[in-house]
Amino acid sequence: MDRMIYTALNALGVNRDSQVAQAQNLANQTVPGYRRDLPNEGGVRFLDMMEGLTTRAFQVETGPAGFSQETGRLTRTDEELDVAIADRGFFYVMPESGDPALSRRGDLRRDTDGTLRNGAGDAMLGADMAPLQVPAYRNIRITDIGEIYIQPLDDPEGDPVLAGVLATVIPPEDVALTKGADGQIRTVEGVLPPPNQQAEVLQGTLESSNVNPVEELLSTMQMQRNFELGMRMVLTARELDESGARTMQAPEG
C-alpha cells in the first residue's frame, strides 16, 4: 500500500513539472526565436534501490531539462534591424546580468549609446565576444555571415563601412545545450563554443517561437486527465488501507 501511494504521488510530481514547462511555453509563444521547453524525463529512485529496504518511489532528475531546436516560422518584415538565422545556429548575447549565452532572438534595436540589443535587452556580441557598438548611420546592411555595413551620417557619398560582425555559431554535434535558471541557452558544461560564423543570417526577417499553441493546449488537457487518475489512485489506496484496517480489527463483544 505504501508503494502504491508513493508511486501515485511521484506521478503527480512529474505531472506538475510538465505543467510548469507547458505554462512557460504558452507564455512565450509570441516571443521571437523562443525555444520550446521539453519536460525532463526523470528516473525513479526505487528502481535504483531494489536491494535496499525502501518500498517508496521518488522522482529522480537525470540531467538538465532540454528544449526543442526545431526552427520557428520565418516571417519577412523588411525591417533593417530584424535578423533571423535561416536554419541551424545561434547568435551570441550578453544578458544584463549573467554570462554570455546563445539566442535565436533577432528583433534588434540600437541603444542610445550605440549598443545593439535584442528585444529582451540583451547586448548582441561580436566575433571578439564584446558587445557590438554601431555608430549612427543613414542605412545599414547585414550580410549572410553577420557582417554589419553602415553608411555613416557624416559620409553620405562614401563607401559602406564595416561596423562589426554579429557572432554566430553552429555548435558541434557533441555539445549538449540546456537552458539555465535565467532562461538563457548555454552548454551543460558552461563553456560556450567559439564563434564559427557558419550560421546563415537573414536581414529583414524574424523567426517566431517554435511553440505550437494547439499542441500545448491538447497536452494540457491530457495532463489534467493524468492528474485526476493520480488523485483517484491515492483515494483508492486510502480506501484499501481503511478496509484492511477494519478487517484486522478484533470482533466486538
For residues 120 and 70, give the distance between their C-alpha atoms in angstroms, rounded to a whole number. Answer: 21
pLDDT tens per residue across span 34-45: 999 887 655 544
Question: Cβ distance 132 to 115 under 8 Å?
Answer: yes
pLDDT at residue number 46: 47
pLDDT tens per residue across span 12-27: 666 677 777 788 888 8
- The residue extents of the domains of the chain are 1-69+209-246, 74-207
Q: What average pLDDT score do residues 87-106 get? A: 93
Q: Distance of alpha carbon 152 from its chain centroid, rounded?
A: 37
Compare 142 and 2 and report the one with higher pLDDT.
142
Question: Cβ distance 14 to 57 under 8 Å?
Answer: no
242-245, Cβ contacts within 8 angstroms, sequence gap of 24 or more: 244/1
pLDDT tens per residue across span 129-167: 999 999 999 999 999 999 999 998 877 677 899 999 999
pLDDT at residue number 103: 95
For residues 217 and 107, give the distance between their C-alpha atoms in angstroms, rounded to a whole number. Answer: 27
pLDDT tens per residue across span 157-207: 778 999 999 999 999 988 989 988 888 999 988 889 999 999 999 999 999
Residue 7 confidence (pLDDT) above 90: no
For residues 10 and 45, give the distance between their C-alpha atoms in angstroms, rounded to a whole number. Answer: 10
pLDDT at residue number 60: 56
Residue 50 confidence (pLDDT) above 60: no
The model's confidence at residue 230, banded by pLDDT at 50, 70 and 90, is confident
Cell 559620409 locates to: 155
